[in-house]
Structure 1
Amino acid sequence: MEIKIREIAADEYSEVVVLWNDVLGVHTVTDENFRVTMEQMIKAGNYKTFVALLENHVVGFISIVHGLAVGSENGYLHITGLAVRKEFQRHKVGTELLRYTENYAKDSRISSIILCTGMKRTNAHAFYEHNGYDKDSFCFDKIINLTNE
């Protein structure tokens, strides 16, 4: 099984949407809002989405953003999403996506990668720890009500 990893192409968006919904359980992602967001991310220039392909079919993806931080010369990469089709989990696809991202960081002279994952996703925690990522902080979020109610 040879996995090829490269930047996402527009005709693969719908396959990644399926992964967001089925694997990550984010059921608000649609083909349309994914396309619009990808266009904005491409225009911004500091986002990348890489896909893992097996026989020209998307079996996984990783989405990253290059952020800047005071005190960090070249900033950091933030993994904003990583998913592998369930039938290909535990076949090193996720690890290969992480390694590809780590090599991208190294080539870009970025020395730090961060990510957040849900508290209940214990299998994901074990996966990241197995791949050399340390638990060193908590992530917090707050949903802002944008209506005037």
Structure 2
Amino acid sequence: MDIKIRELLSKDYTEVVMLWKDVLGVRTVTDENFRVTVEEMFRAGNYKIFVALFSNHLVGFISIVHALAVGSANGYLHITGLAVHNDFQRHKVGTELLRYTENYAKKSGISSIILCTGMKRTDAHAFYENNGYDKDSYCFDKTIKID
């Protein structure tokens, strides 16, 4: 399977939104709030979204942010989203997206990548472990009610 990976273009937005909803189950993502957020992310300069294409069809994406950290000269990459269309899962698309991100980190002088995934997503846990990622911490979150 010949997968091409490139940076997100505006023509990709609708398909990426569908992956956020269908694969990741994030129903609050809409074309409009995705566009606004992506524009803000790109202005900030430390975010990237890469898409995977098979026969010119978008079949997956990975979103990352380069974060700074005390004690780390170049910070780390945080994978904030990774999704592959259901029909293309188990065809190495996710692995290709991870490898592309790892090469991007290497070229940028960044030696650490982190990600969080849901506790019940055991298939995702196995996927990351099979790709050399260690399960070494818990992620915690808290929703803050905004009045």
Unmatched segments (≥5 aa) in structure 1 = none
Q: Structure 1 residue 77 and structure 2 residue 77: aligned?
A: yes
| SS, match of residue 75 in structure 1 | strand
Instruction: Quote the offset at 1:56 in angstroms.
Output: 1.3
Root-mean-square deviation (Å): 0.4
Q: What is the aligned partner in structure 2 of residue 38 from structure 1? A: 38
- 1:55-74 correspondence runs (5 A): 55-74=55-74
CA distance in 2, matches of 1:31, 1:57: 18
Q: What is the aligned partner in structure 1 of residue 109 from structure 2? A: 109
CA distance in 1, matches of 2:98, 2:72: 21
Instruction: Quote the offset at 1:47 in angstroms.
Output: 0.1
Q: What is the aligned partner in structure 1 of residue 121 from structure 2? A: 121
Q: What is the aligned partner in structure 2 of residue 9 from structure 1? A: 9
| SS, match of residue 29 in structure 1 | coil
User: Which ranges of 4 or more aligned residues in structure 1 deviate by more than 2 Å?
Assistant: none
Residue identity matched to 1:38:
V
Residue identity matched to 2:9:
A
Instruction: Quote the offset at 1:18 in angstroms.
Output: 0.3
| SS, match of residue 65 in structure 2 | strand
Q: Give the structure-2-normalised TM-score.
A: 0.99
Residue identity matched to 2:118:
G
Q: What is the aligned partner in structure 2 of residue 134 from structure 1? A: 134
Instruction: Quote the offset at 1:23 in angstroms.
Output: 0.2
Unmatched segments (≥5 aa) in structure 2 = none
Number of corresponding residues: 147
| SS, match of residue 135 in structure 2 | coil
Instruction: Quote the offset at 1:57 in angstroms.
Output: 1.1
Residue identity matched to 1:54:
F
CA distance in 1, matches of 2:56, 2:35: 20
CA distance in 2, matches of 1:77, 1:48: 10
Residue identity matched to 1:68:
L
CA distance in 1, matches of 2:55, 2:8: 15
Q: What is the aligned partner in structure 2 of residue 47 from structure 1? A: 47
Residue identity matched to 2:45:
G
| SS, match of residue 104 in structure 2 | helix
Instruction: Quote the offset at 1:55 in angstroms.
Output: 1.4
Instruction: Quote the offset at 1:65 in angstroms.
Output: 0.1
Q: Report sequence identity in percent.
A: 78
